[in-house]
Amino acid sequence: MKSLLLLTALFVAAGPSRASADDVSVVVGGRPQESADSYRAGELYLDAKRVGALYGGQVYWYPVSGRVSLTARGRALQLVVGSDKASSGERELRLEKPVIVRASRAFVPLSFLTSEGFAEWSGHRTTFDERTKTLVVERAGTVGEPRAFSYKGRTRVSVELAPDAPHRASARGTGAVDVVFDGGVAEGEGRVEVDDGVVASYALKQEARLARLSVNFAEKGQRWKLTELENPRRAVLDVYALGVEIPKDEPQTETTGESEKKPLPAVQPQGEKIVKTEILPKASTPAKTSKKRRLIVIDAGHGGKDPGATGTRGTREKDVNLAAALELSRVLKERGDFEVLLTRDEDVFLPLSERSEIANSRGADLFVSLHCNAAGNKRENGFEVYSVSETATDPEAEALAAKENSVLELEGKNAEDETAKMILLAMTKTEVLNESAALSALAAKAIAKRVDVEARGAKQAAFYVLRGTHAPGILVEMAFVSHAKDEAKLASRRFRRAMAEGVAAGIADYARRQGWLE
């Protein structure tokens, strides 16, 4: 004990009157928080008491014994100054660096918070961007956030699950169904208005000992089917419109409440394995006829020597665009109705004309370019969805297009000359322009239902990358990196995923109107 007290005293004496280092920006669940005090001693450390607040718990600091007790999720984690071990019950976790004391305050090494062991204990994923000094904390649940996919007469709500997460379903009256995940931890909570004529809304909620997905029907008496799929493992709830029957190849059952486990259907989605099916109640539809899968080209704006806009904390647009593009690709592939192609899947520079040519050479059916906005006015925020037009919706849209087109200078091209060429091309594409505007409106509406940033609507401007594309295309400005709260959201995978789901829903709405989907 004497040696521990001496060690603690030495740590206190060695520290300044206040722990000093660059302030760490903090984003929790997609929302910006106050910066965290940190201390750098070879690596970065965070104030222990702030650590407790970040993970929804409390920290008790005992200076005399040099012990730090972090309590969260009904469990306690014990750390000791100078030790590279932490304990929670009988479990022991390792630290790359021990807890230290500076100015009578305990500091926890950041490397421990980002470790797999701490993630499992805390139920949160933690990442740190050394370049922007941004710490992102997101709940690492066993139940992912729901995704909705609308089809003709049917809506699918899909939830990704951890390997051992159980699930069960039961009707809630005649107008809703609950999918319950016993012992489940929801990655995020929230309600989404679907309003597609089949599903009115869905909401995922964390309760004391379970997570609950509640799906509300558009009309009472609709039938539903719960299926488990693999690669990745997920629970899939299909809700059918009134008068639409469950396919004949599905087993049928007459029930009055609880769903029943049944044999596997004969037809399985491509690349997926159906593990089990639960159905309530009886029905049948004609077998699907095979249709051409339409090609969606996803363009992550900027890249390589072109960083795009830069946020107040140093967030680079090119990095956010790529992360969001990969997320959108994943969402569309999970849906299974579209072929997906990325113009870039790494940090490389691509000329604007090459992005368009990739789409044109592959016969793309739709083109989606993802970007982040920026403005001199730091209060400007929200998302916008653009289609191409030679007449901008407003002066701000015109200025934005000019800024995005300025990358032509990095390609060694004269922006004015190239613009003139594109105007001539665009004049021959009236139908594409009209279809692009329709896609833009649908995407803007779908995104607004899913993200918690201001919806600035569907607009038009003369974007070079859209002008050169033969297919209907949109350019999505996901949020403003120049706005503090928007920038924090863009750093969150949860926000980027919600944005991707909104874009995908807009694409699906457009595809249904075109008769591409059943």
**Domain of 81: which CATH number?**
3.30.457.10
Question: Residues 504, 469: one domain?
Answer: yes
- Whether the CB-CB separation of 17 and 27 falls below 8 Å is answered with no
User: Is 99 domain-assigned?
Assistant: yes
Of 364 and 405, more confident: 364
Give the pLDDT band of residue 305 (cuts 50, 70, 90): very high
Tell me what percent of the chain is helix, strand and coil, each rounded to the nearest 5. 25, 35, 40
Q: What φ, ψ does residue 464 adopt, rounded to 5°?
A: -60, -45
260 has pLDDT over 50: no
What pLDDT was estimated at residue 270? 36
List the strands of the sheet with 43-47, edge to edge. Answer: 38-41, 43-47, 105-109, 100-102
Please identify, among 246, 280, 314, the residue that sits at the C-terminal boundary of a domain: 280
277 has pLDDT over 70: no
Please identify, among 229, 251, 280, the residue that sits at the C-terminal boundary of a domain: 280
Question: Residues 133, 154: one domain?
Answer: no
45 has pLDDT over 80: yes
474 has pLDDT over 80: yes
Q: What φ, ψ does residue 175 adopt, rounded to 5°?
A: -120, 10
Q: Which of 1-15, 58-72, 181-195, 434-448 has the lowest mean pLDDT?
A: 1-15
177 has pLDDT over 60: yes
230 has pLDDT over 90: no
Work out the number of other CB atoms within 10 angstroms of the CB of residue 258: 11
Give the pLDDT band of residue 393 (cuts 50, 70, 90): low
Q: What residues contact 181, with CB distance under 8 A and at least 6 apart?
A: 142, 143, 161, 165, 166, 167, 210, 211, 212, 213, 235
**Average pLDDT value for residue range 497-512:** 93
Please identify, among 252, 280, 308, the residue that sits at the C-terminal boundary of a domain: 280
Question: Residues 274, 299: one domain?
Answer: no
Q: What percent of the chain has pLDDT over 70?
A: 80
Could you tell me the CATH number of the domain that includes residue 399?
Answer: 3.40.630.40
396 has pLDDT over 90: no
User: Two tokens at 452?
Assistant: 């918690």
Q: Quick: pLDDT tens for 77-89.
A: 999 999 999 999 8
Question: Residues 215, 298: one domain?
Answer: no
357 has pLDDT over 60: yes
Question: Residues 327, 441: one domain?
Answer: yes
User: Is 63 domain-assigned?
Assistant: yes
Element (H, E) at 117: helix 116-122
Question: Residues 155, 128: one domain?
Answer: no
- Which of 224, 204, 151, 202 lies closest to 449, judged by CA? 202
- CA 383, distance to chain mean position in Å, is 15
Question: Residues 306, 275: one domain?
Answer: no
User: Is 449 domain-assigned?
Assistant: yes
What pLDDT was estimated at residue 9? 42
274 has pLDDT over 50: no
- Which of 14, 69, 500 lies closest to 298, judged by CA? 500
Question: Residues 70, 115: one domain?
Answer: yes
**Average pLDDT value for residue range 1-10:** 43
Question: Residues 110, 161: one domain?
Answer: no
- CA 196, distance to chain mean position in Å, is 22
Q: What φ, ψ does residue 333 adopt, rounded to 5°?
A: -65, -35
What pLDDT was estimated at residue 286? 40
What pLDDT was estimated at residue 150? 86
Number of domains in the chain: 3
Contacts by 183-186, CB closer than 8 A, 24 or more apart: 183/142, 183/209, 183/210, 184/141, 184/142, 184/143, 184/210, 184/211, 185/123, 185/139, 185/140, 185/141, 185/142, 185/143, 185/211, 186/139, 186/141, 186/143, 186/145, 186/211
Q: Quick: pLDDT tens for 105-153.
A: 999 999 999 999 999 888 888 999 988 889 999 888 889 889 888 888 9
Question: Residues 270, 320: one domain?
Answer: no
User: Is 289 domain-assigned?
Assistant: no
C-alpha to C-alpha distance for 245 and 108, rounded to whole angstroms: 58
List the strands of the sheet with 473-480, edge to edge. Answer: 338-342, 294-300, 366-373, 473-480, 383-388, 455-461
Q: Tell me which residue range forms the domain holding 316.
A: 294-513
Give the pLDDT band of residue 208 (cuts 50, 70, 90): confident
User: Is 285 domain-assigned?
Assistant: no
Give the pLDDT band of residue 69 (cuts 50, 70, 90): very high
User: Is 16 domain-assigned?
Assistant: yes
Question: Residues 113, 173: one domain?
Answer: no
